[in-house]
Amino acid sequence: MAAQYRRRRIFGPGGLARRQSYPTAKLWIVGHSPTATVRDFGHLPDITVSSNIKDITDAYKAAHMLLAPIRSGKGTRYKILEAMATNTPVVTTKLGAEGLRVTPGQHLLIGNTAKELTDLTVKLLSDRQLQSQLAQHARINVAKYYNWKTISEDLDKLYRQIGKPEEINNQAPPRLRSGQASIKSQTSSKHQPSITQTS
């Protein structure tokens, strides 16, 4: 759906650049198992569709920017973080940046309508300095907040808020309801577990 949105609303007639002094812009759609509709876009002179990219970061590195017009809450935001990690500036929607530790205008550009996304795309493609600034700030931001050390520290803080390990270990096991099965070890020569059905 996002690819169709880009094609029809942004790269379609009256969309990006042909009428805004940027006729050389090309759209590169990358993803696994594109639909027949999306594959058909590849026949157009200004669009390339790729479904066999081994490493998505290669696509980001070869692009001037990532346009991610995310319009539903499904899925993750990995693509945006991956682009930022490879120094690729990002244009997305408010929903696309939802939940990320980013500041619009500093780490990425945000628009919500087709016109806003189009204007921001043209602005970014036309301004090499802005591309560089967004890419640099975004990469620093990703390295700071989305590395394994930071993530593990955040998880550790969360676990401490939920309950201290000793408190959890001292809690009695939950009582089984009727119909549930419990598994307990049984001392025998074969050391096989026995299954006890509660009544």
- Give the pLDDT of residue 135: 97
Higher pLDDT: 81 or 6? It is 81
Q: Is 30 exposed, middle or buried (0-12, 13-18, 19+ CB in 10 A)?
A: buried
pTM exceeds cut of 0.85: no
Mean pLDDT over 104-133 rounds to 92
pLDDT value at residue 47: 84
Tell me phi and psi for residue 51, to 5 degrees. Answer: -120, 5
Tell me the average pLDDT across 116-124: 88
pLDDT for 96: 92
Q: Over the stretch 159-173, which tens digit does the pLDDT of each residue have? A: 777 865 555 455 555
Average pLDDT over every residue of 116-125: 88
Domains contained in the chain, CATH given: 2-150 (3.40.50.2000)
10 Å Cβ neighbour count for 23?
A: 10
Residue 196 in tokens: 């006890």
For residue 182, what pLDDT is reported?
A: 34
Q: Is the pLDDT of residue 61 over 70?
A: yes
At residue 49, does pLDDT exceed 80? yes
Q: How many residues does the chain have?
A: 199
The more confident residue out of 63 and 72 is 63
Q: At what angle do helices 114-126 and 128-145 cross, to 10 degrees?
A: 100
Furthest CA-CA distance within the chain: 82
Bridge partners (DSSP) listed for residue 179: none
Structure tokens at 82: 């991956």
Residue 1 vs residues 38, 74, 147: alpha-carbon distances, Å: 9, 12, 30
Q: What pLDDT, on a 0 to 100 scale, did the predictor assign at position 133? A: 97
**Identity of the amino acid at 86:** T
Look up residue 42 and give its two tokens: 């590849």
Per mean pLDDT, which range of 34-38, 42-46, 131-135, 173-177 is the poorest? 173-177
Spatial distance between the Cα atoms of 35 and 20, rounded to a whole number of angstroms: 30
**pLDDT band for position 137 (50/70/90)?**
very high
pLDDT of residue 73: 67
Average pLDDT, the chain: 75
Quote the pLDDT of residue 94.
94
Q: Is pLDDT of 21 > 60? A: no
